[in-house]
Structure 1
Amino acid sequence: MSRFVDRVTIHATAGNGGHGCSSVHREKFKPLGGPDGGNGGNGGDVTLVVDSQVHTLLDFHFHPHAKAGNGRPGAGANRDGAKGEPLVLPVPDGTMVLDPDGRLLADLVGEGTTFAAASGGRGGLGNASLASKARKAPGFALLGEEGEIRELVLELKSVADVGLVGFPSAGKSSLVSVLSAAKPKIADYPFTTLRPNLGVVNSGSETFTIADVPGLIPGASEGRGLGLDFLRHIERCAVLAHVVDCATLEPGRDPITDIDVLEAELAAYQPVLKSDTGLGDLASRPRVVILNKIDVPDAAELAELIKPELAQRGWPIFMISAVTHKGLKELTYALADQVRQYRIDHPKPVARRPVIRPIATDDSGFSVIADPDEPGGFIVRGTRPERWIKQTQFGNDEAVGYLADRLSRLGVEAELVKQGAEAGCLVTIGEVSFEWEPQVAVAEDFPMSGRGSDIRLDRPDRVGASDRKIARRLRRGLEVELEDPDES
């Protein structure tokens, strides 16, 4: 027997991007073949998509970890790595996506609606894509980014126009079975229904869906019985129908009391969707009262007795029998009218057009703040600087020099100087901390040394004496230019 699961936690892991390749074309009689390292492939995304053939979150209950494919690394001869295989996860219509703190991220309603659960990492550029006037044959490539890892909570809220509420064994499942083609389990003991049952009802030219919510009891809004597990399934309903058992033999129960108790539970429950759907809380939804089981003589007499009192509340009242089908036609047409009116008052929102917002001219794309844990230190934050740090091979001097050039062109160095940063202070970008040394030149200002090295780093084990002399001259020359009072 299949289980009904309507709340799960999943761990979505997107694919990592492939590393770029550092390669130089080698062929007989072609000594200057040039760089030919290909780019790494992007990692695969993890995407949720609404599928009408899926009705429960059961698969995620047993398999909560979802991982997309990794991108392949680049290769020589300008061969780019293959993209990682994306992972598409089908979910039922009405699935809500929340973060671990309960904040709503997406409400997936409608066949084909998608949500990007985790984005794949970018593939790193190969040295063929990094070649420039200053670096004609780069001896490095960029690393691929790691894929996004997210923990998400999925909640299923049934998409129905009419929700049937009532005590256990009030006849809700029987009513759904006679109004639609649904075949829920029906028995003569409480809590027979352990999952919401949906049915499609045709009434003239109007078609609407009806949901049988498992029996509610006092304290349901606080989690007693099956309350909190299934109250969420009536959040989207436009009309709530009280199904009242007029033939109950339980002591201390009567139709008026049953309705008052459930009204108190509906008023106490605070739906998550009220701010997004415009429906308001459950206490403000239109009501219909269905007095069931009037095929029993005593029940018919009781229904006639309490009908005037209920009519004073302004709710439509229908006396029906799910067994003999008495009063069902009138009930069906009345529900169809209420659903039609709701659809007129709440038209479906028009699909939003994508809005392109250009970046402000004064937006540098990063920020520099003082490090609260390191006196005299600074923290650089921004999407691009943090991404560049992850892409850098720190064991390769040329790659480090390329990173320094990128940060300088972005304006990070200028901002550090503006905020009073001094040589040797600790600067943190992403997960990397280093002692900052001001750059005095960019790669375009001097001849580059061998592949994989950078004379600006002044590494005795990596560069020759002549290269160090060039670097020192460059520093002295630039310092003189900076001290020139005519320069602004």
Structure 2
Amino acid sequence: MSGDTVHDHHAGAPAGKVSPMSRFIDRVALHVSAGKGGNGCASVHREKFKPLGGPDGGNGGRGGAVILEVDPGVHTLLDFHYHQHAKAENGTQGMGGNRSGSNGDDLVLKVPDGTVVLDPDGTVLADLVGVGTRFEAASGGRGGLGNAALASKARKAPGFALLGEAGVERDLVLELKSVADVGLVGFPSAGKSSLVATLSAAKPKIADYPFTTLTPNLGVVSSGDTTFTIADVPGLIPGASEGRGLGLEFLRHLERTAVLAHVVDCATLEPGRDPISDVDALEAELAAYKPALDADSGLGDLAERPRIVILNKVDVPEAAELAEMVTPDFEARGWPVFSISTVSHSGLRPLTFALAKLVHDYREAHPPAEPARQVLRPVARNEAAFTVVPDPETPGGFVVRGTRPERWVAQTQFDNDEAVGYLADRLARLGVEDELVKQGAQPGAFVTIGDVGFEWEPQTPAGVDITRTGRGTDARLDQVDRIGADERKHARRVRRGLVDPDEDTE
């Protein structure tokens, strides 16, 4: 069995040597960064005898997205355990001659079937089931418009372009919840791994001591026309739902199962242990565990899943007697009971047929939904909305929050007066300037939008016909008392205590 020495529980020989824990990883934290959009280009067409042929700057390319995709060849999240940061390619800058920049390539990360994507707060963002199912974990930034796209009746030859947007960055948690039809639960060394090995071609590690199984084992079983998967979940103990032992780490693998099978060790010699108390203890843990997928999976609580009881190791005479004694108690609960031995293979055939029927009935009652190829969970938001609130850190200052204002500010080249004037027009049309007046903002008030702060100049007329001036300038901003970009930067550094107030800004 993969080179490991194996001894059965009944042989009386010492347990064989067990190799180090296999690197089965079923929960990882992942930081994803989409690509930045390329900057637009500010260019003017020039040729002989036509020194000013009009704007021809192309748009920047879109940044690549980070996409999670189910791949049947991937069975663990091990790769993300070692590489917890993923970044997509940036878009390239636009060029003259109306040539747009190239889009950044999407980064497609392969994940196992049954991967659940959560945010750091535990909210389920996507449930990736079905080969080819995809989820856009982080969208790429849009490319900035070139001056050709910004040309209008008012600005026939813009001397500026827009910067590309930053890609989305976010922290995610990936959890693997095995896609199995039958989940085997039981105390450590109850014989679950042996049962998987006997019923299927799986070769799990087996030995005679608790917690031999450190990873879920999956096997495929065929019975008549029904083929189903069976999962051996590592041993549970009382308190598993609260984090004791290994149980909490692997209870998530039971969330998708159609049938729960209690595997009971009828030959245990541990004091205070008997089949009924074992099953009752594990039922309490299953009832206490709250699956994260209840709301979306349609599977319901674990307490609602069909049950079956498997009394194992009846090849031992004392175990066979005990199994016969406790069978009526389990049958009184409405649970089918099967006495088996993975050593002598007695009782395995009826058990296989019974499991196949339970799985078949469950599938009939819960037909699978069509596998999705794209998972999108957009957050409803009004991009036109914005708020203006007093700045708690700056007396007389204000903070403007909103998707559009923050994006527009991030796209603006503040060392270009014409670009600043274009931003003023956009903010005025959105109603930001009117709202600042209503809030009582005074000339020179420090206003913060996104990561940029500036002194508000309400006397600057926005949205009016623009007097043609040199490229990169705006007549409305050509004022002697206007604070330049270098002075604004110096003022911010002074407020943060980074430089001396009397230091020269030159």
Fold match, TM over 0.5?
Answer: yes
Question: Who is 1:157 aligned against?
Answer: 177
Q: CA deviation at 1:171?
A: 1.1
Q: Secondary structure at the match of 2:30?
A: strand
Q: CA deviation at 1:427?
A: 2.7
Would you say how many aligned residue pairs link Structure 1 and Structure 2?
Answer: 459
2:296 is aligned with 1:276: yes
With over 3 angstroms needed to count, the CA separation of the structure-2 counterparts of 1:351 and 1:382, relative to structure 1, is: farther
2:254 is aligned with 1:234: yes
Which amino acid is 1:67 matched to?
A: K
Q: CA deviation at 1:146?
A: 1.1
Q: Secondary structure at the match of 1:445?
A: coil
Could you list the per-position Cα deviations for residues 67-124 of structure 1 after superposition, in whole angstroms to 9, with x for gaps in the alignment? 1111111122222111112110001111111111222211111111111111111111
Report if the CA contact (8 A) 1:133-1:444 is conserved: no
Question: Who is 2:14 aligned against?
Answer: none
Q: CA deviation at 1:227?
A: 1.2
Question: Who is 2:143 aligned against?
Answer: 123
Could you list the per-position Cα deviations for residues 350-388 of structure 1 after superposition, in whole angstroms to 9, with x for gaps in the alignment? 57899999x99xx77122332251555433222111111
More displaced 10-residue stretch of structure 1: 434-443 or 65-74: 434-443
Report if the CA contact (8 A) 2:388-2:435 is conserved: no
Question: Who is 1:99 aligned against?
Answer: 119
Query: CA–CA distance in 2 between the matches of 1:459 and 1:234?
Result: 70
Could you list the per-position Cα deviations for residues 179-203 of structure 1 after superposition, in whole angstroms to 9, with x for gaps in the alignment? 2222212223322211101112222
Query: CA–CA distance in 2 between the matches of 1:460 and 1:437?
Result: 13
CA RMSD of aligned residues (A): 2.5
Question: Who is 1:15 aligned against?
Answer: 35
Q: Secondary structure at the match of 2:295?
A: helix
Report if the CA contact (8 A) 1:134-1:443 is conserved: no
State, as a whole percentage, how many aligned pairs show the same letter. Answer: 72
Q: CA deviation at 1:307?
A: 1.0
- List runs of 5+ in structure 1 lacking aligned partners: 463-488
In structure 2, which of residues 238, 262, 265 is the aligned counterpart of residue 245 of structure 1? 265
Q: CA deviation at 1:172?
A: 0.7
Q: Secondary structure at the match of 2:458?
A: coil
Q: CA deviation at 1:278?
A: 3.1
Q: CA deviation at 1:62?
A: 0.6
Query: CA–CA distance in 1 between the matches of 2:150 and 2:239?
Result: 65
Question: Who is 2:230 aligned against?
Answer: 210
Query: CA–CA distance in 1 between the matches of 2:462 and 2:48?
Result: 35
Could you list the per-position Cα deviations for residues 109-168 of structure 1 after superposition, in whole angstroms to 9, with x for gaps in the alignment? 111111111111111111111111221211111111111111111111111111000111
Report if the CA contact (8 A) 2:36-2:63 is conserved: yes
Query: CA–CA distance in 1 between the matches of 2:305 and 2:65?
Result: 40
Which amino acid is 2:173 matched to?
A: V
Could you list the per-position Cα deviations for residues 257-309 of structure 1 after superposition, in whole angstroms to 9, with x for gaps in the alignment? 21122112212222212222233332332211001111222211211121112
Q: CA deviation at 1:405?
A: 1.0
Question: Who is 2:53 aligned against?
Answer: 33
Q: CA deviation at 1:349?
A: 3.2
Question: What is the TM-score of this pair, normalised by structure 2?
Answer: 0.85
Could you list the per-position Cα deviations for residues 459-479 of structure 1 after superposition, in whole angstroms to 9, with x for gaps in the alignment? 3499xxxxxxxxxxxxxxxxx
Question: Who is 1:112 aligned against?
Answer: 132
1:354-433 alignment to 2 at 5 Å? Answer: 365-371=384-390, 373=392, 374=394, 376-433=396-453
Query: CA–CA distance in 1 between the matches of 2:211 and 2:134?
Result: 35
Query: CA–CA distance in 1 between the matches of 2:377 and 2:119?
Result: 26
1:172-191 alignment to 2 at 5 Å? Answer: 172-191=192-211
Q: CA deviation at 1:36?
A: 1.7
Question: Who is 1:309 aligned against?
Answer: 329
Which amino acid is 1:243 matched to?
A: V
Which amino acid is 2:102 matched to?
A: A
- List runs of 5+ in structure 2 lacking aligned partners: 1-19, 483-506
Q: CA deviation at 1:345?
A: 2.3
2:69 is aligned with 1:49: yes
Question: Who is 1:267 aligned against?
Answer: 287
Question: Who is 1:72 aligned against?
Answer: 92
Q: Secondary structure at the match of 1:21?
A: coil
Question: Who is 2:156 aligned against?
Answer: 136
1:335-346 alignment to 2 at 5 Å? Answer: 335-346=355-366
Question: What is the TM-score of this pair, normalised by structure 1?
Answer: 0.88
Which amino acid is 1:21 matched to?
A: C
Query: CA–CA distance in 2 between the matches of 1:443 and 1:314?
Result: 77
